[in-house]
Structures are given as C-alpha cells and as structure tokens.
Amino acid sequence: MDKTDLELADLIAQDQGWDNFGDMAEDPDGQRIILSSCTPGICRDCLAVTEPHEPDAVENWCELCDANAVVSINWLMMGIV
C-alpha cells in the first residue's frame, strides 16, 4: 500500500477525531498532539494507528505486521508543510 505522507497524516487525524490533517493542524488541541513528545504514528504497511511514538520516529515497530514501518505524525508533517 503506497500512500502519500498526506494521506497517512489524514488517516492519523481521522483516528484522533478530526476530518483530515488540515483540520487537526489548525486546531490547538490537534497541534498539542502533533507537537507532543509522544505522538501518534501510523504503519505504512497495515495503516494501523498506534501511540505513543517519538516525534522523529520513521521506522518504529508495528506489532501487527512485525515490521519497522511506523512513522509519527510529527515526521509526516515535516514532509507536508
């Protein structure tokens, strides 16, 4: 599954209760989550949203697919903005 960084960020935002990443990034509550030291992340392979992850996580462990495939929303945001 090849999703763009923005599509992955949208999926995390939806998991956290926003319609998309743009809405989350504009909301102070969303910014707090994105900029915190333990942020949600998403697996590039199975698209499971898990937390917490370090803000700079780019290949954290995914228990569901036994692979280092989780990227944090903070890291995704760097590629988007």
**77 binding Zn ion? (CB under 5 A):** no
Nearer to Zn ion, 7 or 23 (CB): 7
**49 binding Zn ion? (CB under 5 A):** no
Residues that bind Zn ion (rule: CB under 5 A) add up to a total of: 6
**43 binding Zn ion? (CB under 5 A):** yes
16: its two tokens: 């956290």
Query: Which residue in 25, 56, 22, 24 sits closest to 39, CA to CA?
Result: 56
Do 5 and 80 form a contact (C-beta atoms < 8 A)? yes
Task: Name the residues that contact Zn ion, by CB under 5 A.
Answer: 43, 45-46, 62, 64-65
